[in-house]
C-alpha cells in the first residue's frame, strides 16, 4: 500500500513540476521584466479607413466624414463617388 502512495505522490510531483515549467515557459517576458517589456511595446495600431472616393486606406485620425461617408481628404469629400 505504501508503494502505491509513494508512486502516486511521485507522479503528482512530476506533473506539478511540468505544469509550473510550462506556465513559466509560456509567458516569461511579462513575468520577468514586465516594466521593460511595456516600454518596448509598440504603440497601439490605429484603425484604418477606406476612402469612399479613391479607395485608399488611411488612418482614422485623418478621416473627413461627409454625408455619412468617409474620405481621405477634404478634396475627395467634395467630389462625388465614382
Ligand atoms: Zn480619397
DSSP string covering 4-17: HHHHHHHHHHHHHH
Q: How far is the CA of 44 from the centre of ligand 1 (A)?
A: 24
Binned at pLDDT 50, 70 and 90, residue 27 comes out as low
Q: How far is the CA of 50 from the centre of ligand 1 (A)?
A: 8
Between CA 24 and CA 34 the distance in angstroms is 14
Binned at pLDDT 50, 70 and 90, residue 13 comes out as very high
Between CA 65 and CA 51 the distance in angstroms is 10
Three-state secondary structure call for residue 63: coil
Amino acid at each position: 500500500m505504501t508503494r502505491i502512495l509513494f508512486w502516486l505522490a511521485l507522479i503528482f510531483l512530476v506533473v506539478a513540476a511540468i505544469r509550473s515549467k510550462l506556465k513559466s515557459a509560456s509567458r516569461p517576458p511579462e513575468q520577468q521584466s514586465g516594466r521593460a517589456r511595456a516600454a518596448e511595446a509598440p504603440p497601439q495600431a490605429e484603425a484604418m479607413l477606406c476612402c469612399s472616393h479613391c479607395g485608399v486606406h488611411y488612418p482614422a485620425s485623418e478621416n473627413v466624414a461627409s454625408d455619412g461617408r468617409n474620405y481621405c481628404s477634404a478634396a475627395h469629400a467634395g467630389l462625388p463617388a465614382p
